[in-house]
């Protein structure tokens, strides 16, 4: 089963263009499934695959997982077995008739313009190179709706100052994101000044650098936002995703249609974008 899981994860990363975070989530879910199946087979109880997998789902419910987590694990298993069917290793998906737990989608949280100004005021209180970098990152995220992973993955060459746009890659998907004049000027100034002061190795391609001159990580950026949000009195629930939601909420409020917002956010399916049709919820 382990080899089949590795083959499936490779398929997700290469053929489907899934992000590292998505592949990691699938790996976690499927390794849990494999461990359960192996443990049950050691007991030498003869059961069909259908019965074994249904007992696995019952086991999941007994672990106290939320409906969302259980639904994700069921979806991971279904996708894995569908892959095996497509590869000719199974005749049919043993989970084909299993119904996932119903999960109610929450309306995404967002920052109002005033709340974003309060967040942005925090790095402005400092004159350090890191604070100046943080200001540019917050402005860029709020102006473009980039994912945190996309933001920290940007290289200098991805910024086209002449065309006022950013070229971003997510999995195998590439997109060109236009910049407003203010954000374009911020990036231009950052590239010509503050980034150079953070740079230790001229061969480093990353746009946003940490204090050691290397690429800033997603986890590092996540913590940066959390710290500023706490200082700004915005609570502990503000994340990079909150700024992405804020971008989407502003686009919808300004009259953007779902298809153009889907393209702006880089969603593969418009169904992922429909959540923004509901009235968005403030963070507090």
Q: Is the pLDDT of residue 189 over 90?
A: yes
- The closest alpha carbon to 248, from 175, 146, 97, belongs to 146
What's the confidence (pLDDT) of residue 50? 67
Q: Is the pLDDT of residue 19 over 60?
A: yes
Q: Does domain 2-86 have CATH number 1.25.40?
A: no
Calculate helix-pair angle for 240-253, 129-144, nearest 10 degrees: 40
CATH code for residues 109-282: 1.10.443.10
Q: How much is the mean pLDDT over the chain?
A: 85
In sequence order, the 6+-apart residues with CB closer than 8 A to the CB of 187 are 136, 140, 159, 161, 179
State the average pLDDT over residues 214-225. Answer: 93
**Interval 91-107: pLDDT, tens:** 888 777 776 666 556 66
Count how many residues are written for the chain.
284
Extended strands (E) in the chain: 109-110, 159-160, 165-170, 173-178, 281-282
State the average pLDDT over residues 74-82. Answer: 87
Domain ranges of the chain: 2-86, 109-282
């Amino acid at each position: 089963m382990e080899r089949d899981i590795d083959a499936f994860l490779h398929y997700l990363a290469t053929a489907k263009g899934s992000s590292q975070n998505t592949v990691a989530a699938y790996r976690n879910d499927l390794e849990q499934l494999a461990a359960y199946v192996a443990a049950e087979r050691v007991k030498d109880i003869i059961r069909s695959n259908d019965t074994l997998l249904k007992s696995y789902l019952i086991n999941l419910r007994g672990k106290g997982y939320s409906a969302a987590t259980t639904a994700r694990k069921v979806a991971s298993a279904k996708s894995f077995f569908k892959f095996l069917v497509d590869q000719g290793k199974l005749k049919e998906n043993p989970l084909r008739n299993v119904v996932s737990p119903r999960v109610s989608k929450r309306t995404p949280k967002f920052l109002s313009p005033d709340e974003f100004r309060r967040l942005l005021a925090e790095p402005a209180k400092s004159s350090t190179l890191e604070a100046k970098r943080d200001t540019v990152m917050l402005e860029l995220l709020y102006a473009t709706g980039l994912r945190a992973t996309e933001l920290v993955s940007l290289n200098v060459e991805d910024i086209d100052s002449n065309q006022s746009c950013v070229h971003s890659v997510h999995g195998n998907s590439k997109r060109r994101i236009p910049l407003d004049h203010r954000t374009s000027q911020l990036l231009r100034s950052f590239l010509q000044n503050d980034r150079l002061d953070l740079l230790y190795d001229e061969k480093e391609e990353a746009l946003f650098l940490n204090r050691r001159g290397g690429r800033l990580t997603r986890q590092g950026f996540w913590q940066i936002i959390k710290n500023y949000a706490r200082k700004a009195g915005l609570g502990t629930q503000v994340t990079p995703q909150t700024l992405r939601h804020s971008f989407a909420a502003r686009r919808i409020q300004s009259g953007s249609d779902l298809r153009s917002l889907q393209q702006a956010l880089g969603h593969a399916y418009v169904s992922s974008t429909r959540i923004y049709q509901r009235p968005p919820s403030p963070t507090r």
